[in-house]
Amino acid sequence: MNNHKICFIACVNDERVYKESLRYINSLIIPAGFEVDTIQIENASSIAQGYNNGMHSCDAKYKVYLHQDVFIINKNFISDVVELFRNHDQIGMIGVAGSYDIPQNGVWWESTQLYGKVYDSHTNRMQLLQFRDVHEADVPVQCVDGLILITQYDIPWREDLFTGWHFYDLSQSMEFSRAGYKVVVPRQEQAWCIHDCGIPNTSNGYDYYRMIFIHEYSKELLPVVHPLLSTSHLINSQENDNKLRQWLVKDEDVIAAEKLIMNSQRILNNHGMESKQAMLAGEWEKAANIVQNAGKDAHYHHPGMFFSAELESILKCCAEKLDTVCSQSLTNGPQKAENKRHVLHVFSEGYQTGGHTRLAARWMESDSETIHSVMSLWIGSVMPQWIVDIAEGSGGWYLNFEPNNLTLFHKAKILREVAHSWADIVVLHIHPWDVIPSIAFGTDGGPPVILLNHADHVFWFGASIADMIADIRPAGQDVTRKRRGTTRSMLLPIPMTESAAKYSREEARQKLGIDEHAVLLVSIGASHKYTLCGNYNFLQMLYDVVQKHSHVIALVVGPNDEGEWRQLRIQTNGRACAVGTQWDLDVFHCAADIYLDSFSIASLTASLEAGLRGLPVVLLEDQIARLLKIDDLSFTRDQDLFAAEDVTYEQKIDTLIVDAALRNQLGSNLSRNIKADHIDNWNTRLQELYHCLPSTHTVLTEYETISTWSEGDMIWAYLQYKMGWCYLYRGGLPL
């Protein structure tokens, strides 16, 4: 090996461009006693194969592997790289641009820690592409871009895996790391290179080789990459992959889901950096607003995570500054009047028909020995009168901030002082991105805080301030314990109330115009819960069922009779149709024989109400999309027909259509379970929850290990896009 020789190796298919590259190489200053060689590889089957040929054809210690369209403009390039290598024998490879870590989708430039600079035309316009500055002689990175790769040791290129034109560079970076060498980006006072590549072609196997890269190097990525990012969807069992493909049928669907998650993760990281900058500048209100916007973005654009320790930490810093930012104390605040337990229920806003508002009302009614009060935090969020009446009837009160235009910090200060002066327990029924409670309760002291997890399938704030999270179903509790960094969790099912049926079966059918001999299927849910995803097509399922059974009628409450629903009604001659929003749901329950839970997204409360009426409920079983399914305590026993995933949704319906006795048996069992879990024993569970609370509020300071994202996250991110939730992507998917 010649220690005083450097060789430039390029795979060439355009002589004109390569001659220009050679002109720049020939203009470099050659250190005294050094030789320079160039090797031109033509007709290579792959970059890796071509570079291996070049490596074996040259005895130079220092080798420069560069694209034919790279022009080296640093005249002292040779002496700069040789000096760096000679001063650091542990450095194996140098590149002019790279990333400290590799996101587990394999797209290095989606990392939040990019280094280096290069003049580049990948946007079809030549410009300086500049990342973070390198302040020392070099910065260690996990990978460098393949436009130019400089080595002082020979490590074979993985032509056995990378038989095309992509990911050879990231692979070689990992191979040097495997061999015990460092990969670095050097300090460049001015960019060393021009890369006149034009718009890159990613249609020639980019995603194929990306998958190969992830499979080969996933274990090496895990220690460096953010722990919330994972490729478990790629390395799990074939069975899980088959299940995923029921939802994301095409390769482009899988790729789209990955892009959605990674882009949302990047947006969240950017919000975090902006908020930190505001915080360091002493702009606390701005920092809190940025975090709140981040939470809203994460709610509607699933980032493959349900919790951010970084953003929770920023909110805790805001909480510690609350008394400094808002020094004035609240006057004439409410005081305790009776020797009873005082529970303060806090809302962002309430709804006349909203599920979590009704849930709170039932909570207050069931817990009749307690004084309940209600606060709403957002401007314009006037609570329904019926929940105000329940609170005042218990001896409590209602407070909202209308019409005062208060800041987040002022609202948090009022909330903290009211809670400290009046409440024995605080219950948060807040929106997922509401940061006011996190600022109010982000320091130790005051009454313990319960966070009601009514939105267990989305990202939210509050894990660090909750003394206990009340999870309404096992799937939500599983996410709390594995994905939100805390084990402070207890199950508290949705409270229900039982009332007598308003109609007989005959009266209800007469009112709806349903023949007494027909088998009536009913489903109730918002229109987005019936969104088509992959092979899960609720409308096609209804069409198939009514075509197969001539005496079956299906009514779907919620969606309007338009678009694909109108087409379904026409195709089935009115035997399967959507009837829009209906206020009297009892008539549908009383007339129905079978209740169908919605999919792709389940409707938990609607299914509980139907089951309580004694209807058998048909559920979609799918463990990889568990958060989108029912997964309620009452549905986990005495429901053998619905327990096996290998029995299809449609097969369950077929069985129930022809077996009235089974319908009655399953409906009766389910009604009994729901009554036990959600009515008779509910208050006992609530008292157990109260009993497990600490005497005073403490903030969580250390988080549990968080599981990584997998198939269910991909499905949820993709569904959000399909439903039109992703307001950031209404112009199209992220690149």
Dihedral of the alpha carbons of 712, 715, 716, 721, in degrees to the nearest 10: 170
What integer pLDDT is reported at residue 733 of this predicted model?
Answer: 64
Residue owning tokens 């004694």: 614
Contact 179, 124 (CB under 8 A): no
Distance of CA 191 to the CA centre of its chain: 37
DSSP-derived pairing of the beta strands 143-144 and 97-99: antiparallel
Tokens for 101, please give them.
């870590």
- Between the alpha carbon of residue 53 and those of residues 44, 45, 147, 157, 247, the distances in Å are 9, 11, 18, 10, 44
On the question of pLDDT at 49 being above 70, the answer is: yes
pLDDT digit string, tens, across residues 251-279: 888 888 888 988 898 888 889 888 988 88
- b/e per residue, 483-493, with b = 16+ CB within 10 A? bbbbebbbbbb
As a whole number of angstroms, the distance between CA 391 and CA 517 comes to 46
- Beta bridge pairs of residue 523: 556
**DSSP per-residue string spanning 602-617:** --HHHHHHHHHTT--E
- Which element (helix H / strand E) includes 251? helix 251-280
Place of tokens 């399922």: 541
Map out the domains of the chain with their CATH numbers: 2-219 (3.90.550.10), 226-305+707-729 (no CATH), 324-496 (3.40.50.11380), 505-681 (3.40.50.2000)
Nearest residue to 141 (alpha-carbon basis) of 160, 107, 115: 115
Is 526 in contact with 710 (CB distance < 8 Å)? no
Q: What is the pLDDT of residues 1-30, one digit of tens each?
A: 999 999 999 999 999 999 999 999 999 999
User: Could you report the per-residue pLDDT of 515-565, keeping only the tens digit for each?
Assistant: 999 999 999 999 999 999 999 999 999 999 999 999 999 999 999 999 999
Q: Are 294 and 271 in contact (CB under 8 A)?
A: yes
Which secondary-structure segment (H or E) carries 18? Answer: helix 15-26
pLDDT of 233: 39
Higher confidence at residue 168 or residue 648? 168
Token pair belonging to 671 = 């009604």
Specify the pLDDT at position 607: 94
Q: What are 21-25's contacts with CB under 8 Å, separation 24+?
A: 21/66, 21/68, 21/69, 21/70, 21/71, 24/71, 24/72, 24/73, 25/72
Average pLDDT, the chain: 90
- Which spans in 576-659 are helix H? 586-591, 604-612, 640-643, 649-658
Is the model more confident about 255 or about 607? 607
Average confidence (pLDDT) over 634-661: 76
- How large is the average pLDDT for residues 115-135? 87
Task: Between 336 and 498, name the one with better pLDDT.
Answer: 498
On whether the CB atoms of residues 237 and 217 are closer than 8 A, the answer is: no
Q: How far apart are CA 630 and CA 476, in angstroms?
A: 10
Determine the pLDDT at residue 623. Answer: 72
Q: pLDDT tier at 225 (50, 70, 90 boundaries)? A: very low
Per the CB < 8 A criterion, the answer to whether 557 and 628 are in contact is: no
DSSP run (H or E) holding 482:
helix 474-483
3-state secondary structure of 166: coil
| Structure confidence at residue 245 (pLDDT) | 86
Give the CA count within 13 Å in the CB-facing half-sphere of 173: 32
Q: Give the pLDDT score at 704.
A: 85
Does the pLDDT at position 703 exceed 90?
Answer: no
Reply yes or no: is the peptide bond before residue 734 cis, omega within 30 of 0.
no
Q: What is the DSSP letter of 352?
A: S
Which band of pLDDT confidence, cut at 50, 70 and 90, is reported for residue 160? very high
- DSSP class of residue 199 equals S
Query: Among 633, 652, 548, which Cα is nearest to 595's?
Result: 652
Angstrom distance (rounded) from CA 144 to CA 168: 11
Please give the span between the terminal C-alpha atoms of the chain, in angstroms, as a whole number: 44
> In this structure, what token pair is assigned to residue 600?
């792709």
CB atoms within 10 A of CB 457: 20
Summarised one tens digit per residue, pLDDT across range 87-123 is 999 999 999 999 998 887 788 988 878 999 999 987 7
Q: Which residues pair with 233 in a beta bridge?
A: none
Q: Is the distance from CB of 423 to CB of 690 less than 8 angstroms?
A: no
- Rounded to an integer, the average pLDDT of 483-502 is 93
Answer positive or negative: Cα dihedral of 475, 477, 480, 481. negative
Q: Quick one: pLDDT at residue 234?
A: 41
User: Which two three-digit tokens encode residue 388?
Assistant: 């105000």
% of the chain beyond a pLDDT of 90: 71
Instruction: Let me know: does 361 contact 677? Beta carbons within 8 Å.
Output: no
pLDDT in tens, 271-315: 988 898 888 888 999 999 999 999 999 999 999 999 998 899 999
User: CB–CB of 534/248 below 8 Å?
Assistant: yes
Which residues pair with residue 64 across a beta bridge?
A: 8, 150
Record the pTM.
Answer: 0.69
Is the pLDDT assigned to residue 397 strictly greater than 80? yes
Q: Which two tokens stand for residue 493?
A: 């099912």
pLDDT at 647: 67
pLDDT at 627 over 90: no
Percent of the chain with pLDDT over 70: 93
Task: Write the pLDDT tens digit of every residue in 338-367.
Answer: 789 999 999 998 887 667 888 999 999 999
Res 230: pLDDT = 38
| Distance in angstroms (rounded) separating the CA atoms of residues 601 and 647 | 19
Q: What is the pLDDT of residue 507?
A: 96
Amino acid 612: pLDDT: 96
Q: Considering Cα of 718, then 724, then 725, then 731, what sign does the dihedral take?
A: positive
- SS3 for 510? helix
pLDDT above 60: residue 46:
yes
The C-alpha atoms of residue 496 and residue 246 are separated, in whole angstroms, by 34
Q: Give the SS3 label for residue 522.
A: strand
Query: DSSP per residue over 382-419, as a string?
Result: PPPHHHHHHHHHTT--EEE-TT----HHHHHHHHHHHH
The pair of structure tokens assigned to 165 is 């034109």
Which tens digit of pLDDT belongs to each residue from 438-456? Answer: 999 999 999 999 999 999 9
Q: Looking at 647-706, which runs of residues are DSSP E strands?
A: none
